[in-house]
């Protein structure tokens, strides 16, 4: 325990950091949107619960809640974009601190999303371990759409990185917008193929109620698809902002964040493909995996 490890409170040792412009202190970051986002979401969820329980006003609550929620979130992000222009970030800290803070904060946000997916992957592995046989008889997921979709998402991520590189290097925005749009198109094609795959499977009788395999498949791909939609919306907004010249080579955090989100969605997808589609094909090739899995299931379950 070293001597200086305590809170240094010796009086008279401070130096003024330099006075802050009083005009800045007059301005307050205030927003009505957090309140409306909260209550709008609450109303939406209330409506979902009511609707699932056959209560008449459920659907109305869902619609109204969604409208309020989306309007509030849109208003909020509009405020943020406006903030950026006014450099309000200096109000509560230095611009450098704000920049770093945004990166760290968004990183933790993605971390929390990883933990959410972890719960669903945990279900998948657990259900496999306790199943008498896996995969179920006569069952295999069609792997062609999965591989095509992997290629689509990975290349989409690559196109996005090209766009990022161009913005960071102050290159003409016309071609940047092309790459961004291409990334988006690939993302939408991905979603389209997923929808078709779901429709095909359901038509053939494989639904979400089909035991552990139905649950895992639809929930993992479903939540992943939801995140792709969110990512696609994010990238769409970023693309528009590029068109409106909101970004500079050193100040384009929204673009960085959307990129991180898109890559995260990519990584989850690859994990999903390996675990849901490919693992069973290769499991028997890896000789040690069976005894290991057996030992673990004995120990845990």
Partner 1 sequence: MQVENTHAATNVPHHHDGHHGHERHWLLSWLMTTDHKRIGIMYLWTSFIFFLIGGAMTFVIRAQLMSHQNTLVSPDFYNQMMTMHATVMIFLAIIPAITGFGNLALPLHLGARDVAFPRLNALGFWLVPAGGLVVCSSFFLGGASENGWTAYPPLASNQYSPGLGVDLWIFGLHLLGTSSITGGLNFIVTIFNMRAPGLTLHKMSLFSWSWLVTSWLQVIATPVLAGAITMLLFDRNLGTSFFRPENGGDPILFQHLFWFYSHPAVYIMILPVFGIVSQVVPAFSKKRIFGYLPIAYSSVAIGFFGLLVWAHHMFATGLSPWFLTIFMLITMAIAVPTGIKIFSWIATMWGGIVDFTTPMLFCIGFIAFFTIGGLSGIMQSAIPFDIQVSGTYFIVAHIHYVLFAGSVMGLYAGLYYWLPKMSGRMYSERLGQAHFWLTTIFMNFAFFPMHYLGLQGMPRRVAYYAPQFEQVNYWISISVFILGTAQLLVIANLIYTLKWGKKVENDPWNHHPDTRTFEWEISSPPPHYNFETLPVVR
Partner 2 sequence: MQQSLLKPSVLLANLLLAWGVLFSSDTLAAPFWFVDTVTPYGDQVNFTYQLMVWISIAILVAVEVALVVALIKFRKKPGDRREPETWSHNTRLELIWTIIPVILLVIILVPTMKGVMMLADVPKSPSLTLEVVGRQFFWEYRYPDLNVQFNSSMRMGNQPQEPLHIPVNQTIKVVFTAADVIHSWWVPAFGIQQMTTPGNLAQIPLTVTKVGEYEGACAYLCGAYHGAMNIKVKAVEQAEFDAWIKTKVAGAPLTPINEIGRIGAPHPKLDIQKGGEQSKEKPQGAVDKTIASVPVQSSTASPEVSAKQQTPSIDPVVMAKHGEAIYSARCAACHQTNGAGVPGAIPPLAGAEQVNGDDETFARILLKGLTNEPIKVKGVDYKGLMPAFSDLSDEELASVMTYARASWGNNGKAVSPELVKSLR
Per CB under 8 A, does 209 bind partner 2?
yes
Round to whole Å and give the CA distance between 95 and 255: 17
Per CB under 8 A, does 300 bind partner 2?
no
Fill in the DSSP letter of residue 20: P
Q: Looking at beta carbons only, is 57 or 286 nearer to partner 1?
A: 57
- Which of 93, 211, 249, 274 forms a contact with partner 2 (CB under 8 A)? 211
- Cα–Cα distances (Å) from 191 to 134, 186, 229, in that order, read 28, 9, 8
Are 192 and 237 a contacting pair, CB within 8 Å?
A: no
Per CB under 8 A, does 299 bind partner 1?
yes
Q: Segment contacting partner 2 (CB under 8 A): 70-78, 169-177, 208-216, 261-269? A: 208-216
Q: Which of 269, 282, 278, 274 is nearest to 155 (CA)?
A: 269
Per CB under 8 A, does 30 bind partner 1?
yes
Round to whole Å and give the CA distance between 294 and 63: 49
The two tokens of residue 5 are 């490890």
- Which of 123, 210, 241, 263 forms a contact with partner 2 (CB under 8 A)? 210
- Cα–Cα distances (Å) from 115 to 79, 152, 268, in that order, read 30, 25, 11
Task: Give which of partner 1, partner 2, none residue 109 binds (C-beta under 5 to 8 Å, depending on kind).
Answer: partner 1
Task: Give which of partner 2, partner 1, none residue 285 binds (C-beta under 5 to 8 Å, depending on kind).
Answer: none
Helix (H) or strand (E) holding 65: helix 58-86
- Residue 38, number of CB atoms within 10 A of its CB: 13
- Which of 63, 67, 86, 92 forms a contact with partner 1 (CB under 8 A)? 92
Per CB under 8 A, does 41 bind partner 1?
yes
- Which of 81, 102, 177, 212 forms a contact with partner 2 (CB under 8 A)? 212
Minimum CB–partner distance for residue 176 and partner 1 (Å): 28
Q: Segment contacting partner 1 (CB under 8 A): 31-39, 189-197, 235-243, 258-266? A: 31-39
Per CB under 8 A, does 127 bind partner 1?
yes
Q: Which of 192, 203, 208 is nearest to 145 (CA)?
A: 192
Per CB under 8 A, does 214 bind partner 1?
yes
Q: Segment contacting partner 2 (CB under 8 A): 63-71, 136-144, 233-241, 281-289? A: 136-144
Q: Which of 181, 193, 192 is nearest to 156 (CA)?
A: 181
Per CB under 8 A, does 6 bind partner 2?
yes
Tokens 């290159």 correspond to what residue?
A: 171
Per CB under 8 A, does 206 bind partner 2?
yes
Long-range contacts of 126-133 (CB under 8 A, 24+ apart): 126/301, 127/212, 127/215, 127/216, 128/212, 129/293, 129/296, 129/297, 129/300, 129/301, 130/297, 130/301, 131/212
Per CB under 8 A, does 139 bind partner 2?
yes
Minimum CB–partner distance for residue 144 and partner 2 (Å): 14
Applying the rule CB under 8 A, the residues between 269 and 298 that interact with partner 1 are: 298
Q: Looking at beta carbons only, is 98 or 242 nearer to partner 1?
A: 98
Per CB under 8 A, does 205 bind partner 1?
no
- Which of 6, 56, 85, 137 forms a contact with partner 1 (CB under 8 A)? 6
């Amino acid at each position: 325990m070293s001597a200086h490890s305590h809170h240094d409170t010796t009086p008279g040792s401070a130096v003024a950091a330099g006075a802050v412009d009083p005009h800045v202190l007059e301005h307050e970051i205030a927003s009505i949107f957090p309140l409306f986002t909260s209550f709008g979401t609450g109303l939406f969820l209330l409506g979902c619960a009511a609707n699932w329980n056959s209560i008449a006003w459920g659907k109305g609550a869902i619609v109204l809640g969604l409208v309020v929620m989306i309007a509030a979130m849109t208003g909020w992000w509009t405020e943020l974009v406006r903030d950026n222009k006014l450099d309000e970030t200096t109000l509560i800290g230095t611009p450098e601190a704000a920049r770093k803070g945004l990166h760290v904060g968004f990183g933790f946000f993605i971390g929390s999303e990883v933990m959410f997916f972890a719960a669903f992957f945990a279900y998948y592995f657990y259900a496999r371990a306790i199943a008498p046989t896996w995969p179920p008889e006569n069952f295999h997921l069609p792997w062609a759409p999965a591989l095509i979709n992997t290629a689509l998402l990975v290349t989409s991520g690559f196109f996005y990185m090209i766009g990022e590189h161009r913005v960071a290097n102050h290159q003409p925005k016309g071609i940047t917008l092309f790459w961004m749009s291409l990334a988006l198109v690939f993302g939408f094609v991905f979603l389209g193929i997923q929808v078709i795959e779901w429709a095909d499977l359901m038509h053939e009788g494989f639904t979400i109620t089909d035991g552990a395999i139905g649950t895992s498949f639809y929930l993992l791909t479903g939540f992943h698809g939801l995140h792709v939609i969110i990512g696609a919306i994010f990238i769409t907004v970023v693309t528009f902002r590029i068109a409106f010249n909101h970004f500079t080579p050193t100040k384009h955090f929204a673009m960085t964040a959307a990129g991180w989100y898109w890559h995260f969605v990519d990584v989850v997808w690859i994990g999903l493909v390996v675990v849901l589609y490919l693992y069973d094909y290769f499991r028997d090739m890896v000789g040690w995996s069976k005894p290991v899995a057996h030992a673990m299931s004995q120990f845990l379950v």
